[in-house]
Amino acid sequence: MKQRLSKTKGFKGGATAVAEPVGAAQRGRYIDGNKTEQRIEVRPDGKSNCLTTVQKDSLVCAPVRVGQYGKGGQGQRIYSVRGKSVTLSANGGGQGAKTGLYKIDLPDGDYIIRKLTPVEADAFADSSPTTIRWVSATHSVTSVSATAGRWTLSPISWEDFVMNEEILKTCADNNNYTIYTAFCKAQRIMMRSYSPVCSISGGSDSDIMLDMIHNVDEDGKVTYFWIDTGLEYTATKEHLAELEQKYGIEIIHIKPDKPIPTCIKEYGVPFLSKYVSEQMMRLQAHHFQWEDEQLEVLLKKYPKCKVALQWWCGERYSDENGVQKMSRFSIYRNKWLKEFILANPPDFPISNKCCEYAKKKPAKRIIKELDADLDMTGIRKAEGGIRSAAFKTCFSECKSKGCDTFRPIFWYTDKDKHDL
């Protein structure tokens, strides 16, 4: 039997490796001096081994199909990671387009089905003697090495996947794979980014995110930055210096577009939170008199201030359903706030512009200056508040040629933080 590895142009500008059945044998080899390991050894000459009474002396390595999606078209076939990879193609459709689909068993008894990562695909497109390590977006599968013209396939354990074995041990001990999954997703997203940036705040969530990103950033391509609003504690700056020393990184300090005192003077004072400040700013812009009236009455008096009035009244209005109670993000989310404002109506301007000029605009500026294609922040859904509704997933893709946004610890709960 011949082994043939044909190469054609097309896959990411390189070669396309076509995996065809090859002759092989299963051999026991010494590792670490006295320990033996069973390995699949492929013949380099394209021939099959001699037929003997020992079954493992003459094997054939070929893609092992284990299932399918839909009708089982070329891009819908699922293969085992224990066989050879299927042909890499420059074009094609279906869930497994270009690389094929592979079933990967997880340590908890479950499994996932995925395509090859760019690293794996590039490795298989190169037929020169090398070491190929299958690094999955969710699991470590197989180690393939070529030495002295002999291909050797050996399984590696799932603990080998993530760079930090202590983290995986923690996941297993606590039966918590949210952290494990987050690491896998971060690695997959980082693989396809050429200029990622990461916003650091110095808080606990930010520290957890930094540790994760630094672990998966094998090429050291992430640029870390911190926005110095001018109101930061000395302890925060000292902590950032400790992080730089611990991880061997540089955290760039960014100045705000406008100092906070200037923003307050020009636009108004922030009050309680960004969201509350925004609603009160809108009400003031329409000369609202802080009246305790029904929503229908106020909408007639201030017809162009519907959103802020709904917040003020804790009700939502539509022509179809009339007035309905708001369960989230109304003024009643902050207990006694409405009563306090009614008793002490503000006679000074309130604004949320401080955050815009001290944080949002500087972040956009550095993203543009660095031509970043990925912006990472330490937002968690479990924090609650407006963030729990502002984002639906951990990843937001830019519709145009801009910068995607990734929230690596978006799904972390307080328990996940404790487990870490």
User: Domain for residue 415, yes or no?
Assistant: yes
Which residue segment(s) compose the domain that 120 sits in? 7-161
Question: Are residues 230 and 242 both part of a single domain?
Answer: yes
How far apart are the C-alpha atoms of 193 and 211, rounded to whole Å? 18
CATH of the domain at 382: 3.40.50.620
- Contact (Cβ atoms closer than 8 angstroms) between residue 420 and residue 208: yes
On whether both 108 and 129 belong to a single domain, the answer is: yes
Q: Which of 334, 350, 366 is the last residue of a domain?
A: 350
| Interatomic CA distance for residues 128 and 218, integer angstroms | 23
Other CB atoms within a 10 A radius of the CB of residue 249 amount to 18
338, two tokens: 């409405």
Instruction: Note the maximum CA span of the chain.
Output: 95
- Here the tokens at position 9 are 């142009």
pLDDT in tens, the chain (420 residues): 333 333 333 323 333 333 456 777 877 777 766 777 777 777 777 677 787 777 777 777 666 777 777 777 777 778 776 655 666 666 666 667 777 777 776 655 666 677 766 555 655 544 333 333 333 333 333 333 333 233 333 333 333 343 455 666 666 676 777 887 888 788 878 878 889 999 999 999 999 999 999 988 878 899 999 999 888 899 999 999 999 999 999 999 999 999 999 999 999 999 998 899 999 999 999 999 999 999 999 999 999 999 999 999 998 878 777 777 876 778 988 889 999 999 999 999 999 999 999 999 999 999 999 999 999 999 998 887 776 677 888 888 887 667 999 999 999 988 888 776
Give yes or no: residues 185 and 231 share one domain.
Answer: yes
**What is the value of pTM for the model shown?**
0.60
Q: Are 154 and 174 found together in one domain?
A: no
Please check whether residue 266 lies inside any domain of the structure.
no
Torsion angle (degrees, nearest 10) of CA 139, 144, 145, 148:
170
Q: Which residues on adjacent β-strands are paired with residue 320?
A: none
Of 377, 359, 357, nearest in space to 209 by CA: 377
Nearest alpha carbon to residue 221 among 244, 198, 196, 246: 196
